[in-house]
Amino acid sequence: MFGYAARRSSAQEAQDIVAETFLVAWRRIDDVPDDALPWLFGVARRVLANARRGSDRRSSLGARLRLEARPSAQDDPADEVASKAAVLAALQRLSPIEHEALTLVAWEGLDTARASRAAGCTKATFSVRLHRARRRLMKELAAAGHQESGEGTTTSDGFEEAQTR
């Protein structure tokens, strides 16, 4: 049995194939015919096929992950770090109420109704707080020399979310 598996895979894999083959035989002991060798070869063939499919899936997943993890030439992480640092610094200069309004929407992902309940105020009051907090944050970013990109959004991911909600 080992020779059959070793001729069709590596020596290390062959050990696993043989072990799995005999595990299947043990589990299905009532199905094993009197002449067990051809049946065991059939089981080993299917175990090898499953192992190859698993290996192919792992290889393709690894290739996809390497492609996704590869940084593109146009994405400079230093720009993103500087942008996020500017937004965080500007957030620290806001009042606690303004800070909470922005972070409930942008970071916690709450809509205005749910964020107002979390903040303990009416939806109208929260909407006004959020509007004022966004406007004040934009002023803080502009005062710090941070550039805007698009309609009322900065280059920071966290603040873009706050602007679109």
Q: How far apart are CA 21 and CA 48, in angstroms?
A: 9
Cα 41 from chain centroid? 41
CATH of the structural domain 77-164, one choice from 1.10.10.10, 3.30.70.890, 3.90.550.10, 1.20.140.10: 1.10.10.10
pLDDT tens-digit series, residues 116-154:
888 889 999 999 999 999 999 899 888 877 665 444 444
Average pLDDT, the chain: 81
pLDDT at 154: 41
Rounded Cα gap, residues 22 and 45, in angstroms: 12
For CA atoms 5, 58, 56, 24, give the dihedral sign: positive
**Could you tell me which residue, 83 or 122, shows the higher pLDDT?**
122
User: Looking at the chain, which residues constitute the CATH 1.10.10.10 domain(s)?
Assistant: 77-164
